[in-house]
Structure 1
């Protein structure tokens, strides 16, 4: 167990330690996490500090408390958030939690569709890299069908972009490493539509006209230039947004 560092509030150190275990996939959905009493003993802190650590995890939506039972890692029925993947890539060198994996279906240079060209701020008749993948969970099967789009000029210094092999730390991290450009922020747009035939096959959606959730995710570098544009499609049981608020105020 790590030692407490005085520069950071003790409850946050504990919460971040458990959060990293969840993000890495070391603690699985439905797994019980240590109680207030256990945390207090293991970390040599007071019970109120342990309680604040557990509450911080609840606020972040990582765990849930069950009355008379304990506190458990939440079942991740949410669409996979890019922020969590960036955290894993930077801290642990991989974008997927333990047990999850992606299969690259294609990786090629194509003519840029107009909406992709506009999003990436490219000139007319530009060419782009198109990387298509399906992400699987060992528990739920296929959970995401996605396409990443990048400027084709990157291939000269980033040849792995057009190879059908997984890039363990993610395309953004890979491009950062080979170009020196650093990702600074991202913009997400979320919508719903009917799945294409290919998406329905990839996600094992039965019947015609299945609805899906669509994320459009654009990453910008420190010069405010688009670095990657990605479209991720999720089956209808993967919610994308949750908020908690008072209905009396």
Structure 2
């Protein structure tokens, strides 16, 4: 029987154990995960706690919950596109920003003169404002690029958050790192999604042939004082789906 620790809520420990089995390939796409009864018996918890763990696996896009009489199975992540809200929730709950099988490479990270639109969004002042520009390419389980993004930050953060200028992945996510280094805590965000034809730069980063359509997700994260923590623009190639879960309980009449 797995042993629960005092340091974390039981459902988080169960979630992390099952997630580990998925990441290690012990459970592969299409495999059923243990039933709620089995999880509850194995861990010595209630089925309510087991259900919370499985619910978190679903929210993090690791599994697909079946209908009545059907098992919950490991999800194939190759066509999944996660938006800023998904990644933000992942950082808050698990300390990780990427889903199963994903990894990223930072292709560049530097302080540059802020483009006019970036300066306006970030509220940068001065004659020649600067911004930190991080370019990231995210790869799927098949090692093919699935999205490319540019994250923009106030250039003044370079001293307090020096890792932003290192072209290496930040495990907890860039804005999660900024929170650790400063008092800028993100409290709300907004995603705007549109489509357009891919540019030559998009095609090079995503390894796609032109002409092609791409999905563009623009993410803004603010503090409670309306200061922009991060401004990000992500481009995903053809065939990537976005999934949005929502609760209608409060809408029932």
Task: Please indicate the TM-score interval, normalised by the length of the shorter structure.
Answer: 0.7 to 0.9
Partner of residue 201 from structure 2, selected from 187, 191, 198: 198
Partner of residue 108 from structure 1, selected from 93, 100, 110: 110
Q: Aligned residue for 1:128?
A: 131
1:21-79: per-residue Cα shift (whole Å, max 9, x none)? Answer: 566654654332112442353245677x5996698569856423278763202223331
Taking structure 1 as the reference length, the TM-score comes to 0.77
Change (3 A) 1:118 1:44: same
Find the residue that maps to 1:65 and give its secondary structure.
Answer: coil
Contact 2:15 2:54 (C-alpha < 8 Å) held by counterparts: no
Contact 2:105 2:138 (C-alpha < 8 Å) held by counterparts: yes
Q: Aligned residue for 2:173?
A: 170
Change (3 A) 1:54 1:68: farther
Q: In structure 1, how many angstroms separate the alpha carbons of the residues matched to 2:67 and 2:105? A: 36
Long gaps (5+) in structure 2: 249-253
Q: In structure 2, how many angstroms separate the alpha carbons of the residues matched to 1:73 and 1:230? A: 30
Change (3 A) 1:35 1:23: closer
Find the residue that maps to 1:105 and give its secondary structure.
Answer: strand
Contact 2:83 2:191 (C-alpha < 8 Å) held by counterparts: no
Long gaps (5+) in structure 1: none
Change (3 A) 1:2 1:114: farther
Q: In structure 2, how many angstroms separate the alpha carbons of the residues matched to 1:177 and 1:54? A: 27
Taking structure 2 as the reference length, the TM-score comes to 0.76
Change (3 A) 1:225 1:151: same
Find the residue that maps to 1:70 and give its secondary structure.
Answer: coil
Equivalent pairs counted in the alignment come to: 237
Contact 2:151 2:233 (C-alpha < 8 Å) held by counterparts: yes
Residue 35 in structure 1 maps to residue 35 in structure 2: yes
Q: Aligned residue for 2:251?
A: none
- The Cα of 1:112 is off from its aligned counterpart by 1.7
- The Cα of 1:106 is off from its aligned counterpart by 0.9
Q: In structure 2, how many angstroms separate the alpha carbons of the residues matched to 1:98 and 1:74? A: 9
1:180-200: per-residue Cα shift (whole Å, max 9, x none)? Answer: 221111111111111111211
